[in-house]
Structure 1
């Protein structure tokens, strides 16, 4: 009888371990929807959040690394279709980038929406995230937030570097695989550059659009280079502005996995200097 009770206790604990993460995830999703709804009422817009972080999501808490996928593009395109053509859209982005196809689909849908679309970047929107941001009517960034280059990557190599190798090295001393990769790299750079140009030309004019398309795709920087507000302003993008506090509150509902030993500690309250 004691063995049966112990066995039943083990099964009960296992069931609890399985369902507690699901309950927490449901509560977290409810908090996210509430924050989105509050922001929509305040701004009179449709709010869409594209936020990629690692989350403790599964029975055993394995963190899942996220990036822009086809599933993301399908969901955002559906959200835009469900939005009236005359309703502005706010897109909150926090992403390291992802699939070029998915990012281009989202950028195209943003350009086709009749009403104003504003992209908010509280921390960073790199690579494909930058491509999406460039398609918006307005970009609002935290003063410390960054965008990134949109130069294509071929496997583990930057496309611009593969092209440079074949230009500077004798073709007879270059192996076939490198030549093939360089050919693909040239096509990829041409395609992405053309896409950036198409995104920017109506808003900035042909000459400025060509200049910026080259800047963002030519491999001037490493792929993970953070392009700051100051750099973007110098390129002709007035992007730094006051971020609505509700966006920071929404980001609080997309926490990173809890570590056993936190590496950053502070009292999470806004401070004001006391008057003497």
Structure 2
């Protein structure tokens, strides 16, 4: 798909949604490097009634989604996120700051479980909840073992590998993800349903054991999120745009191989 065709689909999407459309499509972790390019695009658009963000991301930094939401909302009265395929982890956090999330039959959100750097392998990112589950495993191993000396032999090598300062930092990240989720839900997605905020926050930050758990549009709606089910021409355009950007990324990756 050529650039002109993608732009034509975006224009048609703007007509159908009566909005200005932005696109964030990435396979690298979501972080603050998005902010300056985003600000430049928003300045070009100027203040408008509604902004739709087409979002494809597997997550990233715990702080960035909140910054993105606050920045976009400086330029619009209504904000929606369109998820063609995947908006996971920290990207799902961004969804909570929208007034609605537009999803199709293959779209999925995920548990809010931000990524942090591995304490040893610095180029490896791990879900922060993995550390919490490690500590929970150690706690259960000790409490379930009748012989404390045996328990000590089992868990001491693992405990010696854990940096207390790092554990504290990871704990802060978990608490921050809950705080951001609660704040965004209460201000935006669930502003008219304050009694649902705690329930949804807990479900998204603690209710799923798999980092990659797929929360489809029906489950997202059951959780209490304001889901618009894309159908007909609307979904057809959204999906074609996804395929177009996916093709663009594959072409770029192919060029890097030679």
User: Same-fold call, TM > 0.5?
Assistant: yes
CA–CA separation in structure 2 for the residues paired with 1:105 and 1:234: 27
Call closer, same or farther: CA 1:220–1:181 in 2, change over 3 Å: farther
Q: Could you tell me how far 1:157 is from its partner in structure 2?
A: 4.1
Q: What is the aligned partner in structure 1 of residue 35 from structure 2? A: 73
Q: What is the aligned partner in structure 2 of residue 162 from structure 1? A: 131
Q: What is the aligned partner in structure 1 of residue 99 from structure 2? A: 137
CA–CA separation in structure 2 for the residues paired with 1:179 and 1:100: 20
* Structure with more helix by fraction: 2
Q: What is the aligned partner in structure 1 of residue 149 from structure 2? A: none
Q: What is the aligned partner in structure 2 of residue 105 from structure 1? A: 67
Call closer, same or farther: CA 1:252–1:230 in 2, change over 3 Å: closer
Call closer, same or farther: CA 1:141–1:69 in 2, change over 3 Å: same
Call closer, same or farther: CA 1:68–1:166 in 2, change over 3 Å: closer
Q: State the TM-score, normalizing by the size of structure 2.
A: 0.73
Call closer, same or farther: CA 1:31–1:224 in 2, change over 3 Å: same
Structure 1 position 43 matched with structure 2 position 17: yes
Report if aligned partners of 2:200, 2:224 keep a CA contact under 8 Å in 1.
Answer: no
Structure 1 position 189 matched with structure 2 position 163: no
CA–CA separation in structure 1 for the residues paired with 2:23 and 2:126: 30
User: Once the two structures are superposed, what CA deviation does each residue of 1:178-206 show, in whole Å capped at 9, x if it has no partner?
Assistant: 43332122100111110011001131544
Indicate which of 214, 219, 223 corresponds to 1:231.
219
User: Once the two structures are superposed, what CA deviation does each residue of 1:22-48 show, in whole Å capped at 9, x if it has no partner?
Assistant: xxxxx9333333332333244331111
Q: Could you tell me how far 1:113 is from its partner in structure 2?
A: 4.7
What is the root-mean-square deviation of aligned Cα atoms in Å?
Answer: 2.9
Of stretches 164-173 and 128-137 in structure 1, the one that deviates more from structure 2 is 164-173
Q: Could you tell me how far 1:96 is from its partner in structure 2?
A: 1.6
In the alignment, structure 1 segments of 5+ residues that lack a partner are 1-26, 53-64, 261-276
Give the structure with higher Rg (CA). Answer: 1
Give the match's secondary structure for 1:116. strand
Call closer, same or farther: CA 1:158–1:120 in 2, change over 3 Å: closer
Report if aligned partners of 2:62, 2:115 keep a CA contact under 8 Å in 1.
Answer: no
Give the match's secondary structure for 1:80. helix
CA–CA separation in structure 1 for the residues paired with 2:135 and 2:39: 39
Structure 1 position 212 matched with structure 2 position 222: no
Give the match's secondary structure for 1:106. helix
CA–CA separation in structure 2 for the residues paired with 1:251 and 1:143: 13
Of stretches 175-184 and 228-237 in structure 1, the one that deviates more from structure 2 is 175-184
CA–CA separation in structure 1 for the residues paired with 2:130 and 2:243: 38
User: Once the two structures are superposed, what CA deviation does each residue of 1:183-234 show, in whole Å capped at 9, x if it has no partner?
Assistant: 1221001111100110011315444212222221226322111111222122
CA–CA separation in structure 2 for the residues paired with 1:249 and 1:165: 41
Q: Could you tell me how far 1:88 is from its partner in structure 2?
A: 0.8
